[in-house]
């Protein structure tokens, strides 16, 4: 795992001090690749690439980047892993100078051109300079596992793995208003938006080219929900097992020992169970975290059961409020933006533990989005079941379960009564898109703390609606629309956290559930197998139960990775949060009235996110916006 960066003058004019600028970009991302660093520019100095390397495959110097193709002269900087690189080597044939997947990408591009991305299994973000065509070709993996950000300033296209590496080149560090409205609504940005004005994100499954002064974007992959009504549950169960085994076999390819995150939930437990069985339990290592303040914040006993059953050592870290106070600013710095909730702190701490023992870990990201594991799906469906029963529409395949069949599984909503009360307080039985938007819309919580007059007319709902009813969703039901939206939006945001929190410690995180063949197959499974009688992730759990201990198979209380943040805010962390939100600059922010936020501190529920969201925005502004001059000074050649 590595970092990439680069720049190209789209008018083919020389870039002044290009080597120093590339060095600055590498330096800002050096945590991502502590094993090696390199820069390259062409003789005319209008195109340059930079790279930091974390050695996973071919640990020799042969993996140095930027790497040049000895046959074509093309040059690449690459971040990620191509898991099927050995198979592609055989298919491409010919002489190879290294044993790296980086060289395989170069040779694949020489053979298939821009279509090379369709042949790759893996996680990747890369840029290739085609010397003959005078063309820059950049691409990002299908799911957004590896990051790619860019900015265009004074006819120069800059790109990097992390946004902080682009900040020195911006004319100013400002908040993007549309991105900010997305954040208030979802706690992440949609599409190519980011929270930095002038910085965009290359979307997952997209590539771009720069040639003759033109920048062109292209989607090269899409998942289609062509439902398979011809097969039985038994077929889907067996096929899922086969495909996940195949994916994990690819994901455990490494020249260094591997391990895995084990949270105590189904997804990460299955991944580590399978992987440990394949490589041998004594060669594998599991990692988990807990808060030693009660059962609600400690799921380590489930992780211990998985480790014991599959014979691998489990390392644990007990996280405290002191850890939070000492590390939260590092978390925000590495995230680049305030996203995806307080679980990012947990991932930062567990990644730090993992990095002491391994360079590569496997995780379970993606399971909730592709199989339907979030409780809000059950909340939304419960309402629609009642509506369908009243209107007599339960037999038109719009509703995959009836309200009678869903009743036995409603105990999963025991801890969500406050959500239900709020959800049903207004808009009951509206259009399904509006109802799901209400479930995920966090903006009303902070409405009275926002300077509304400073926001634009941009409406996040319009973007939400286009994704919710996207063209690749045909003859689907409400459940598919909900999970598809989260797959396209929430999942990339969570993957950003996965990438940043692991790379902050020079650790590579892999996600075997996000395999293109597996995802395409899951999209064909009718929703009545995924949410059978209200049993969330039914088909996945049935397929994977034999890998899990009884304690996990029989769980009904899984709540993600809760942290006692709001308890800390009212106690040990109260002074810290108060000081952050009452500094002179914090009291005069453009968009948020932090004085009103402080009044919410005592009334915030245990799992509310309003204080977390605003605290992260303020820390983000202090770390980046308030230090804009420091980023600009990095470009001064001494």
- The Cα-based distances of 65 to 32, 107, 161, 307, 405 in angstroms read 14, 15, 15, 38, 57
Exposed / middle / buried, residue 546 (Cβ in 10 Å: 0-12, 13-18, 19+): exposed
**Edge-to-edge order in the sheet of strand 258-261:** 314-318, 286-290, 258-261, 360-362, 508-510
CB 6 within 8 A of CB 127: yes
Give the C-alpha separation, 560 to 263, whole Å: 8
Residue 234 has a CB neighbour count (10 Å cut-off) of 9
Q: What's the CA gap between 166 and 128, in Å, rounded?
A: 19
Q: Write the burial class of residue 386 (CB in 10 Å: 0-12 exposed, 13-18 middle, 19+ buried).
A: middle
Q: Is 321 a catalytic residue?
A: no
The secondary element (H helix, E strand) that includes residue 377 is helix 375-391
Helix (H, G, I), strand (E, B) or coil at 107: helix
Q: How far is CA 412 from CA 107, 278, 363, 407, 535, in A?
A: 51, 34, 24, 10, 9
- The DSSP symbol for 176 reads -
Gyration radius of the chain over CA positions: 24
Give the full edge-to-edge strand order of the sheet including 47-53: 36-41, 47-53, 2-9, 156-160, 149-153, 200-201
Task: Determine the distance from the C-alpha atom of residue 182 to the mean position of all C-alpha atoms in its chain, rounded to a whole number.
Answer: 16
Catalytic residue among 2, 116, 346, 477: 2
What stretches of 101-176 show up as alpha helix (H) in DSSP? 101-112
CA distance 470 to 466: 6
d(CA 193, CA 102): 29
Beta bridge partners of 87: none
Structural contact between residues 76 and 106, judged by C-beta atoms closer than 8 angstroms: yes
**CA atoms of 219 and 603, how far apart (whole Å):** 45
101, two tokens: 């997947």
Residue with tokens 């962390």: 573
Give the catalytic positions in this structure: 2
């Amino acid at each position: 795992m590595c970092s990439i960066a680069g720049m190209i003058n789209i008018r083919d004019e020389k870039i002044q001090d290009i080597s120093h600028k590339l060095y600055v970009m590498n330096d800002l991302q050096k945590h991502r690749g502590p094993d090696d660093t390199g820069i390259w520019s062409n003789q005319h100095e209008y195109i340059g690439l930079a790279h930091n390397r974390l050695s996973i495959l071919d640990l020799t110097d042969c993996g140095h980047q930027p790497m040049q193709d000895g046959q074509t002269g093309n040059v690449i900087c690459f971040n990620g892993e191509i898991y099927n690189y050995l198979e592609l080597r055989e298919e491409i044939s010919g002489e190879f100078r290294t044993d790296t997947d980086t060289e395989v990408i170069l040779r694949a591009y020489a053979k298939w051109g821009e279509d090379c991305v369709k042949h790759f299994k893996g996680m990747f973000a890369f840029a290739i300079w085609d010397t003959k065509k005078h063309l820059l070709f950049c691409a990002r993996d299908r799911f957004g596992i590896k990051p790619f950000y860019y900015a265009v300033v004074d006819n120069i296209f800059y790109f990097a793995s992390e946004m902080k590496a682009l900040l020195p080149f911006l004319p100013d560090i400002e908040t993007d208003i549309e991105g900010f409205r997305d954040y208030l609504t979802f706690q992440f940005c949609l599409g190519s938006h980011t929270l930095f004005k002038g910085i965009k994100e290359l979307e997952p499954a997209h590539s771009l080219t720069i040639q003759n002064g033109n920048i062109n974007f292209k989607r090269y992959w899409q998942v289609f929900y062509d439902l398979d009504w011809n097969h039985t549950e038994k077929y889907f169960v067996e096929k899922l097992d086969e495909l996940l085994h195949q994916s994990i076999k690819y994901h455990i390819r490494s020249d260094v020992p591997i391990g895995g995150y084990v949270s105590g939930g189904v997804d990460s437990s299955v991944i580590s169970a399978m992987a440990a069985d394949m490589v041998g339990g004594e060669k594998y290592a599991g990692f988990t975290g807990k808060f030693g303040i009660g059962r609600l914040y400690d799921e380590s006993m489930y992780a211990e059961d998985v480790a014991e059953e599959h014979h691998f050592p489990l390392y644990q870290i007990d996280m405290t409020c002191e850890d939070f106070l000492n590390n939260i600013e590092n978390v925000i710095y590495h995230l680049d933006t305030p996203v995806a909730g307080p679980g990012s702190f947990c991932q930062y701490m567990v990644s730090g533990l993992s990095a002491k023992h391994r360079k590569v870990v496997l995780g379970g990201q993606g399971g909730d989005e592709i199989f339907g594991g979030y409780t809000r799906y059950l909340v939304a469906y419960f309402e629609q079941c009642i509506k369908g029963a009243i209107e007599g529409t339960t037999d038109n395949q719009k509703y995959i379960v009836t309200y009678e069949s869903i009743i036995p599984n409603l105990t999963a909503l025991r801890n969500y009564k406050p959500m239900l009360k709020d959800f049903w307080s207004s808009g009951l039985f509206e259009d399904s898109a509006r109802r799901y938007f209400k479930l995920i819309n966090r903006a009303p919580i902070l409405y009275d703390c926002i300077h509304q007059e400073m926001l634009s007319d941009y409406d996040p709902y319009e973007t939400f609606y286009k994704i919710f009813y996207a063209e690749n969703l045909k003859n689907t039901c409400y459940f598919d629309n909900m999970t598809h939206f989260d797959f396209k939006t929430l999942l990339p945001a969570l993957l950003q956290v996965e990438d940043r929190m692991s790379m902050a410690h020079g650790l590579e995180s892999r996600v075997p559930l996000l395999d293109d063949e597996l995802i395409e197959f899951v999209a064909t499974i009718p929703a009545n197998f995924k949410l059978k009688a209200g049993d969330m992730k039914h088909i996945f759990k049935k397929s994977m139960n034999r890998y899990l201990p009884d304690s996990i198979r029989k769980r009904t209380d899984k709540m993600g990775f809760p942290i006692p943040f709001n308890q800390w805010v009212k106690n040990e962390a109260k002074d810290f949060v108060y000081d952050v939100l009452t500094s002179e600059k914090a009291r005069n922010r453009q968009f948020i009235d932090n004085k009103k936020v402080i009044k919410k501190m005592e009334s915030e529920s245990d799992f509310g996110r309003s204080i977390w969201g605003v605290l992260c925005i303020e820390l983000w502004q202090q770390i980046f916006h308030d230090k804009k001059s420091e980023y600009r000074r990095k470009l001064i050649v001494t």
